């Protein structure tokens, strides 16, 4: 290497070294006995990272579980309200009767086939008559329901069954009575009193 090149290298080395402060001359024994230096930066190790990860994951799982409980409760409430709002008037009336404190019911066989069940609540002022598997009537005939009080009949309504022989009659101004009778009447000749054959008697006392 030429003299000029050597001088340039020495100048560069001297310039770099001039930026580094000289280290104190400390004996090895004194350096070994010196207390450890406390770091003020971020110190992590595998155990610390795993513990922190478990805590974070636990928070995520806990939050998810709480959200799931809330969503389940909300979903159940919405489903219940949806079911309530979509009940038919007959089903809503029956539900109201069955939830009443004085709810009562009676089931009897119907002459000619089928059964009839009366559900009533004096407190709610409701009676729901549910007919099942009743035979079809001839054209121009209908079934009439009468409330019997002290031996006198009071018309409570009429009903016609569907193809399966089912029907539901709601009496929404129900008052206590001794019982019900169901008769077969001419649809165009309802005289305000039973004239046709009685096919069912249901006690409501």
Q: pLDDT for 68-120, tens place per residue?
A: 554 455 454 444 444 555 679 999 999 999 999 999 999 999 999 999 999 99
Tokens found for residue 164: 């399966």
Backbone angles phi, psi at 6, to 5 degrees: -65, -40
Sorting pLDDT into bands at 50, 70 and 90, what band is 13? very low
Residues in the chain: 205
Compute the half-sphere exposure of residue 66: CA atoms within 13 Å on the CB side of its CA: 6
- Report the distance separating Cα 189 and Cα 32, nearest Å: 120
Sorting pLDDT into bands at 50, 70 and 90, what band is 49? low
Q: What is the pLDDT of residue 192?
A: 85
Q: In the block, which residue shows the tokens 């024994």?
A: 29
pLDDT above 60 (res 149):
yes
What is the distance, to the nearest Å, from the Cα of residue 103 to the centroid of all Cα atoms in its chain? 25
Residue range 152-177: average pLDDT? Answer: 95
Using CA atoms, how far residue 50 sits from 42, 45, 54, 56, 59, in Å, is: 16, 9, 6, 10, 14
Residue 11 parent element (H or E):
helix 3-17
- Report the distance separating Cα 182 and Cα 199, nearest Å: 6
Terminal CA-to-CA distance of the chain, rounded, Å?
Answer: 128
pLDDT above 90 (res 56):
no
Pairing of strands 179-186, 197-203: antiparallel
Q: Are 131 and 200 in contact (CB under 8 A)?
A: no
- Report the distance separating Cα 64 and Cα 58, nearest Å: 10
Q: What is the pLDDT of residue 40?
A: 45
- Report the distance separating Cα 6 and Cα 126, nearest Å: 116
Q: What is the pLDDT of residue 59?
A: 64
Q: Are 130 and 106 in contact (CB under 8 A)?
A: no
């Amino acid at each position: 290497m030429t003299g000029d090149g050597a001088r340039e290298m020495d100048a560069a080395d001297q310039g770099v070294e001039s930026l580094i402060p000289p280290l104190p001359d400390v004996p090895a024994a004194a350096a070994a006995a010196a207390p450890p230096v406390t770091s003020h930066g971020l110190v992590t190790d595998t155990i610390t990272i795993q513990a922190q990860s478990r805590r974070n994951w636990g928070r995520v799982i806990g939050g998810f579980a709480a959200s799931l409980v809330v969503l389940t409760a909300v979903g159940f409430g919405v489903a219940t309200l949806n079911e309530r709002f979509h009940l038919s008037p007959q089903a809503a009336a029956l539900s109201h009767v069955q939830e009443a404190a004085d709810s009562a019911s009676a089931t009897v066989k119907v002459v000619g086939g089928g059964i009839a069940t009366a559900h009533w609540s004096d407190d709610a002022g409701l009676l729901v008559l549910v007919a099942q598997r009743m035979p079809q009537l001839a054209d121009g005939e209908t079934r009439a329901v009468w409330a019997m009080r002290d031996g006198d009949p009071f018309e409570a309504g009429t009903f016609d069954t569907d193809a399966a022989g089912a029907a539901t009659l709601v009496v929404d101004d129900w008052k206590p009575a001794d019982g019900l009778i169901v008769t077969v009447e001419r649809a165009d000749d309802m005289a305000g009193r039973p004239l046709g054959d009685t096919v069912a008697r249901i006690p409501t006392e």
